[in-house]
Structure 1
């Protein structure tokens, strides 16, 4: 009996005692692994953040600046610079907390579906070792999202270029970022009602492009047309097409950080986002150039660049769910629809969207958001992931439609209200004399080129 006890019972007791310890050790290891910073993901996200910043300055500044007349190029650059500075400050102060905070969500589900809270103002709760998705520092995630908050209002500049008063612009952009961008970003990315519904917006189709594009249309209509604007053909000749090319190249490059970085990890999803972003852009640019070549007998650099931007915009919401087939379709369809809006609808309705902010960003965002509900595939999202109507899930297309319509209505209504308030108090449009002289001189007292050039 003693021998049996020694031979069988003692080892059995040891095993029973060891199992909880082993399980605890595994659990501790799992927790430790979860809490360990991933240096690869962190390095990639730092690069992605830099790339997204390049999209605004100097990318968008040069792209828009090259399209306007030379007497207004500095006003475009100044507007982009101002946005980069002031929106970054506001984002760190409370914007990030409004979008990604959780205090309202924890105390009131209804209020939390609309806005985040104040628990992360001035990033007060974000210590250096606090990690988020992808095991990257949350402070890095906050800076990455800051660049999205910067470029979104910057896109609106293209609608009212060459005719807006800088003082009115400053007040409008600040209010727009606080009242329009922050709530919309929370709805889609911060745990708000659209995210809870299941809306897909991988990198900003609704939050960035529909939001900015629809607001741009409202601003263009309410501000009125530029002096001497012609609705047929190109109303004003771009003053520096090489700037347009350089700006497009920087936007294209920065968009890889914009889309591939939105997965917050250096993994296969980022690689797929990189691939479909590049492919959709190439397809859209070539399709736009081909249409232009057929209709106007000459392919132009401005047309190719505009098509490329349309493709970049449209693939943005779908970059985390679409495959190569989706990229081909989204790129081609976005070029066709955006070209139609820019070449025909704008002329027919006679509104002066100076640099086609609505025609490219607004319409491209709408096309991309809806087609995300068509081309999302489990080949990218995984066996338990979402899929679109093409693969049998029509409900996802319905959800995308709701999100798209909600973004359009919210942006349009709030922009209209903000325009009315700012225009009545400060004023938004420059005088006819200042517009004739150019905003560079009338608003900033500078000129881009010497009189001998």
Structure 2
């Protein structure tokens, strides 16, 4: 594919274009803007395994590797989907108010032309940056299969879900033709497309799958198996969020710097707030509590990061750290086994961020990039903005929940694609049952504690019965063989 660009004496990329009157003129891409967006792409990439480590650390060790593996599988599947038709469905220039067309199928024509996101960067740069948003969203959602879901069918689920849930929401939020965009919705970096959609989808998946075996008993009253993984995942996520929010300015400018400032501040305040709420119950300074709060703060500030000041971000942190903490109790009220609190952290956090953006958005801060003109939120006496933010949030939540549920049940009725693992797989552990691999070499260690006649040859005693090599791990986790399942999806 040929490109119609050149370089000026300063090294900037120039391209021919026309002004509003149809006169020929020259556009310029700054290498600094391109470099910042590409660097932000790499920052968001590291968030994807960060989600895997965060989720892995919260689970039992016999299911630890599957979450890390699934995060990388999601990246691979969505990378193909984005090339195939995802980018075109979300960001084609001829999109409807709801979804795009196939103009850029297989990335045709996606190269040197100005992107739909910003005329300051070419389409190919915008495309790869937005790919990372599309890739991280489903892994946030499909963490809901933890300890009871099959990996193979999840690959198909991720492809379908990204196509008919994420792509339409991204289109109506960020594409200049989208209905939320034209209504005046403010979503700087993905409150609805990323967090509300994934958090709600996680809830729908958990509802479909049903409860894990032993739900409501001491068997599942375990602490995270590896708090270090939880901290490491938070480090990757917090680090990458500077590209997630700062990069959404799509230019190296003051607005990007402001987004980075409020992102870090909100996460800090929210982490401290959550930890203090947990301290009141156990008088312990919980690392998991701090990390959970930091993630909630990062989620809440995401839609607002390019619109609010640092003082407002402190309030975002306090509110997110408080409400998301208490929202973790919702799963008990409705009886849904959302074992990773995806709905509380991402759906509730995203709604908090959207609504507070309607209150605290400032037109002066949006104009830090020299281009963006908005009416602001309640601080600027634009009182209708809160209603727009509410409509966006409710629509995204409803679309994600309904369509995700349809996908789950359509796969349930399709041979070989059910998402729920068998009871034996759940007892054995998803790592061994689905992958035949482990996060740790603990199986061999526990085998050494067995009687001599049970070692080496995979038999039990002198009866030559086959023995699962992770059965000892299942027993060590407090599993009892033979309990009944409790979901329609298991039958």
TM-score scaled to structure 2, two decimals? 0.82
Structure 1 residue ranges, 4+ long, deviating more than 4 angstroms after superposition: 27-30, 231-234
The Cα shift of 1:138 comes to 1.3
2:384 to 385, 390, 395: 395
Name the counterpart of 1:11: none
3-state DSSP class of the match of 1:238? coil
2:276 to 278, 281, 290: 290
1:140 aligns with 2:121: no
Q: Alpha carbons of 1:376 and 1:237: their partners in 2 closer, same or farther (altered >3 Å)?
A: same
3-state DSSP class of the match of 2:445? coil
The Cα shift of 1:29 comes to 12
Residue correspondences, number:
416
Deviation readout 1:139-171 (Å, 9 max, x if unpaired): 111000000000000001332211001222222
The Cα shift of 1:377 comes to 1.1
The Cα shift of 1:122 comes to 1.6
Deviation readout 1:160-203 (Å, 9 max, x if unpaired): 21100122222222111111111111010112111111111100
Matches within 5 A, 1:331-370: 331-342=317-328, 344-370=329-355
Whole-Å separation in 2 of the counterparts to 1:250 and 1:311:
15
Matches within 5 A, 1:396-415: 396-415=385-404
Name the counterpart of 1:174: 159
Matches within 5 A, 1:211-290: 211-230=197-216, 235-290=221-276
Q: Alpha carbons of 1:367 and 1:441: their partners in 2 closer, same or farther (altered >3 Å)?
A: same
Is the 2:77–2:158 Cα contact (8 Å) retained in structure 1? no
1:204 aligns with 2:190: yes
Is the 2:214–2:220 Cα contact (8 Å) retained in structure 1? no
**Which has more radius of gyration?**
1
Deviation readout 1:319-359 (Å, 9 max, x if unpaired): 011111220111110111100011x3222323111111111
Q: Alpha carbons of 1:402 and 1:232: their partners in 2 closer, same or farther (altered >3 Å)?
A: farther
Name the counterpart of 1:16: none
1:44 aligns with 2:32: no
The Cα shift of 1:430 comes to 0.8
**The 10-residue stretch of structure 1 (151-160 or 47-56) with the greater mean CA deviation from structure 2:** 151-160
Matches within 5 A, 1:23-62: 31-32=25-26, 35-57=27-49, 59-62=50-53
Whole-Å separation in 1 of the counterparts to 2:186 and 2:353:
11
The Cα shift of 1:401 comes to 0.6
Whole-Å separation in 2 of the counterparts to 1:38 and 1:168:
43
The Cα shift of 1:60 comes to 1.0
The Cα shift of 1:126 comes to 2.1
1:125 aligns with 2:86: no
Is the 1:158–1:353 Cα contact (8 Å) retained in structure 2? no
Deviation readout 1:287-336 (Å, 9 max, x if unpaired): 00111111221121000000000000000000011111220111110111
3-state DSSP class of the match of 1:31? strand
Q: Alpha carbons of 1:247 and 1:271: their partners in 2 closer, same or farther (altered >3 Å)?
A: same
The Cα shift of 1:385 comes to 2.4
Name the counterpart of 1:448: 439
2:420 to 429, 432, 438: 429
Whole-Å separation in 1 of the counterparts to 2:248 and 2:235:
20
Matches within 5 A, 1:100-111: 100-103=91-94, 105=95
Is the 2:57–2:64 Cα contact (8 Å) retained in structure 1? yes
- Gap regions ≥5 residues in structure 2: 1-17, 447-491
Whole-Å separation in 2 of the counterparts to 1:275 and 1:233:
43
3-state DSSP class of the match of 2:298? helix
Is the 2:39–2:243 Cα contact (8 Å) retained in structure 1? yes
The Cα shift of 1:373 comes to 0.3
Is the 2:271–2:297 Cα contact (8 Å) retained in structure 1? yes
Whole-Å separation in 1 of the counterparts to 2:360 and 2:217:
36
1:115 to 92, 99, 107: 99
Name the counterpart of 2:306: 320
Whole-Å separation in 2 of the counterparts to 1:353 and 1:232:
17
Whole-Å separation in 2 of the counterparts to 1:231 and 1:98:
45
The Cα shift of 1:283 comes to 0.7
Whole-Å separation in 2 of the counterparts to 1:73 and 1:375:
40
Name the counterpart of 2:14: none
The Cα shift of 1:30 comes to 9.4
